[in-house]
């Protein structure tokens, strides 16, 4: 991805634009968005990657990529939004993570009269689709489509590389206390499958289920994986207490860059490649 694409952001057209978000809502704007607020770090990355970086005027805490995003006004975090600050920035488009905000917060945003684009990415195809949709809403479709096609190509190549390899039972630790993981609908589970892994809790109904230590130990994963970053270092919690678990016995514990695998943005495929390497090493 070139610096020029990340920096691009001047809409090429002045006519009205329309798109449908992941909640099935139609967002119709009289012209491409010129003042965008992003309420999730991965949506900030997507907006910049789609060529709309110059239009982004406010972000959620931890929106630190690309570097220009880290210099923008912060209007909230995972616990609270500053609605007064949001209103003062006069956005003509607000990007929200569907499962990252509660219904009350979404209602308050719409009560301010703001166009809200709701995103809920569950697979890499969703990353590419979101790039293209944001390109439509920001009038930067050529740049957005270029990056979307790059994501699709890289994902297809990764899947082809690992498709026929020996299966490995994988437990992905989303959080340590309570112990949380992901089910088959989560984009991280899609990456596990693409790498030839088998998510040991794929069948659970919740997207990010909490599981007991007893159930986790009984699943006997061959590989334990978690994400880490400078802000949140990796911690495997109690796993090392259970020496009979195959992954612990063989010291198969992998840490993946959380800024890649943990964010549903264009860099996700890079994180998936790290995951594939860890799974391959445990075979």
Residues 6+ apart with CB under 8 A from 95: 36, 37, 38, 39, 40, 43, 46, 47, 117, 119, 134
pLDDT of 8 > 90? The answer is: no
Q: What is the pTM of this model?
A: 0.91
The pLDDT of residue 233: 86
Q: What is the rounded average pLDDT of the residues 30-45?
A: 98
pLDDT of 6 > 50? The answer is: no
What residues does each domain of the chain span?
A: 3-155, 163-281
Same-fold call for 3-155 versus 163-281: yes
pLDDT of 4 > 50? The answer is: no
Q: What is the rounded average pLDDT of the residues 28-48?
A: 98
Third-level CATH fold of 163-281: Rossmann fold (3.40.50)
> Residue 14's closest CA among 29, 36, 35?
29
Q: What is the pLDDT of residues 117-161, one digit of tens each?
A: 999 999 999 999 999 999 999 999 999 999 999 999 999 999 999
Instruction: Assign 3-state DSSP to the chain and report helix, strand, coil percentages, each to 5.
Output: 40, 20, 40
Return the CATH architecture of domain 3-155.
Answer: 3-Layer(aba) Sandwich (3.40)
Q: Would you call 208 helix, strand, or coil by DSSP?
A: coil
The pLDDT of residue 37: 98
The pLDDT of residue 128: 98
């Amino acid at each position: 991805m070139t610096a020029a694409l990340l920096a691009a952001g001047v809409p090429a057209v002045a006519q009205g634009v329309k798109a449908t978000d992941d909640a099935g809502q139609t967002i119709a704007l009289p012209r491409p968005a010129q003042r965008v607020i992003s309420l999730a770090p991965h949506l900030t990355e997507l907006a910049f990657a789609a060529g709309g970086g110059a239009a982004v005027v406010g972000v959620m805490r931890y929106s630190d990529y690309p570097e220009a995003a880290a210099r923008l006004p912060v209007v909230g975090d995972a616990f609270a939004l500053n609605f007064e600050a949001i209103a003062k920035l006069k956005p003509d488009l607000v990007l929200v993570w569907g499962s990252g905000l509660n219904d009350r917060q979404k209602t308050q945003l719409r009560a301010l009269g703001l166009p809200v684009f709701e995103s809920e990415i569950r697979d890499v195809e969703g990353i590419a689709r979101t790039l293209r949709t944001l390109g439509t809403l920001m009038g930067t479709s050529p740049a957005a489509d270029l990056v979307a096609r790059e994501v699709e190509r890289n994902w297809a190549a990764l899947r082809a590389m690992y498709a026929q390899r020996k299966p490995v039972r994988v437990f992905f630790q989303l959080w340590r206390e309570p112990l949380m993981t992901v089910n088959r609908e989560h984009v991280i589970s899609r990456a596990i499958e693409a790498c030839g892994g088998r998510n040991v809790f794929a069948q659970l109904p919740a997207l990010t289920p909490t599981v007991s230590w007893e159930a986790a130990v009984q699943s006997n994963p061959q590989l334990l994986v978690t994400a880490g970053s400078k802000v949140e270092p990796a911690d495997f919690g109690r796993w090392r207490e259970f020496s009979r678990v195959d992954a612990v016995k063989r010291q198969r514990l992998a840490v993946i860059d959380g800024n890649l695998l943990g964010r549903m943005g264009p860099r996700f495929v890079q994180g998936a490649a790290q995951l594939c390497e860890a799974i391959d090493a445990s075979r």
